[in-house]
Amino acid sequence: MDDHKHSATGPTAPLGILIPVLLLVTFFFAAPISAVHMPFPEWTEVDRIVATINGNPVMLSDIMIEHEFGLLEPPRGEAGSIDDLIEPYLNRLLILEEIGEVGGFSISKTQAEGAFRGYMTTFGGGSAFKNKNDEWGTDPADIKRRLTRALTASLYTESRIRFFVNILPSDVEEAYTKEPDRWGEDSLFAVWDTIRETLQEEAFKRERDRWLASLKTRYNLHMVNGNNGELQ
């Protein structure tokens, strides 16, 4: 293996990062961004381009498939409409663009297979999975590939951003002193872990938002107006 290549391998790899969105229902594909040329149920919305990344179209049908198969969920607090799924899916594609550009990050075959087994368990078993594929006209191998891509993006995001998130003891003490009402009437010792975890989550979100904003520029993300097809 190349000395510069890093792999999220091993049975103890942090799958929990992704499970809340993927396996129990993530966030973010080395494969080209393109339309999925498959027959869709007659009741689905007519397919359209929702955005382009580096000039490549991102199709609404891909978003619908990912959501229908439990691979994509809206942000917390959102209603859960198709529109709420667009940004998380675009974020995922942008992250995969960076992975493809910089290289050196992958998950092992063992980890991918383990994730798929867990996914099948939460999906309801082989019969339910087959019926869903028959309903949507999708290829089970494609769904497995989508799962692997989503897992790769999620693990990459976690490993990349955590490097920049460093909460010091002085940060915890300062937060406790400046916002005492936020932490209740408990002592600093009693709420230390709560404050530290909260600050870590907030710092993670700030760094993630900054990073994603830079990816939108770097990979030429353009939204497409759903009504007239004009680029925004």
Asked if residue 193 is part of any domain, the answer here is no
How many separate domains does the chain show?
A: 1
The answer as to whether 124 is a domain residue is yes
**Would the pLDDT of 105 be above 60?**
yes
Q: Which domain holds residue 32?
A: 6-164
Residue 232 lies in a domain: no
Query: What is the spatial distance between Cα 220 and Cα 94, in angstroms, rounded to a whole number?
Result: 10
Long-range pairs of 37-40 with CB within 8 A, sequence gap ≥ 24: 38/136, 38/137, 38/138, 38/139, 39/137, 40/64, 40/136, 40/137
Question: What's the whole-model pTM score?
Answer: 0.73
pLDDT tens, residue by residue, 68-79: 999 998 877 666
| 4-18 pLDDT tens trace | 334 443 333 333 333
Angle separating helix axes 126-136 and 109-123, nearest 10 degrees: 90
In a domain, 172, yes or no: no
Residue 57, pLDDT above cutoff 80 = yes
Look at residue 20 and tell me if it is in a domain.
Answer: yes
- Please, which residues bridge with residue 149 across strands? none
Tell whether 224 is covered by a domain: no
Angle between helices 60-68 and 140-162 in degrees, nearest 10: 90
